Chain A
Amino acid sequence: MLELRLVQGSLLKKVMESIKDLVNDANFDCSATGFSLQAMDSSHVALVSLLLRSEGFEHYRCDRNLSMGMNLGNMAKMLKCAGNDDIVTVKADDGGDCVTFMFESPNQDKIADFEMKLMDIDSEHLGIPEAEYEAIVRMPSAEFARICKDLSTIGDTVVISVTKEGVKFSTRGDIGTANIVLRQNTSVDKPEEATIIEMETPVSLTFALRYMNSFTKATPLASQVTVSLSSELPVVVEYKIAEMGYLRFYLAPKIEE
C-alpha cells in the first residue's frame, strides 16, 4: 500500500510540466526515503533525476518498495486537473495496475479522484557517481532561462565557459554570434538574485540548446538554478524543490571526436 499526501500539490504539477516533454514514460520509485524518478530522454543524451523526500509529505506511507511505470504526458494531463492550491494524494496498491491521484481543495469542499493505468517500462538506470565539479555556478533561474531562450534564436549550441572573470554563454549561427557574460554578484539585497561562481579550474563545454531550453521549464520550481560543470563530463542543472528534494537534469556535452 502506498499513500503520499502532498499539501503543496502544485509542486507535483510543476514537476510534471518540467519533464513531460523530455521523457515519455518513466518508472516512479517509492521507498522509505521518498518518491523518486530517474529517466533518460529518447535519444539517451539527457537524464532527469527527481527526488521528493518522504519528510516533505504531510503523510507518507510506503509499505514496501514500489516501482510504478507511468506515461508522463498522461500523468501531467491528470495533474493539470488539480487546482494550484489543492492537496494532492497519490495512492496505489501493491501489485496493482493503476495509481490514483486525489485532489482536495484547501477548504475540503471539492474532492476529485483520477485513476490512471500503470505500464510496464523497461528502463535503463545509470549509476551516476558523486563528482567534484570544476566549476559550480548558482544564478537566478529566470536569468538562466532567458539566456538559453535568447541564444537559441541565434544558434543551436551553447558554449558555457567559466573563468575567474565570470561565466560566459556563447553561441554562433548563420546570422552571427552572441556572447553573454555574467559576473559574480553577491551584493544584491535578495539572495535569490545573486550569482555565485565557485571555480576550481577554468572549464569550457558545449551543449545542445534544445535540451537546455527544455530543462528551463523547471524555472517555476526554484528561484535559483545550479549549473555544475567539469571538462568532458555531463553538466548538471539542478532546481531545488523547497525543503523536499531536487529536480536535476544531466546533459552530455558535445566533444571533439
Chain B
Amino acid sequence: NSLTQVVHSAGRRFIVSPVPESRLRES
C-alpha cells in the first residue's frame, strides 16, 4: 500500500497507515 510508511526508531519498527474514516467516526 503506497500510503504505508515504515519508520525505524531505536530498533522498533512503526508502520504508518491511514485510519479508515469509519474508524474515526465510530470510536
A and B held together in a complex:
no
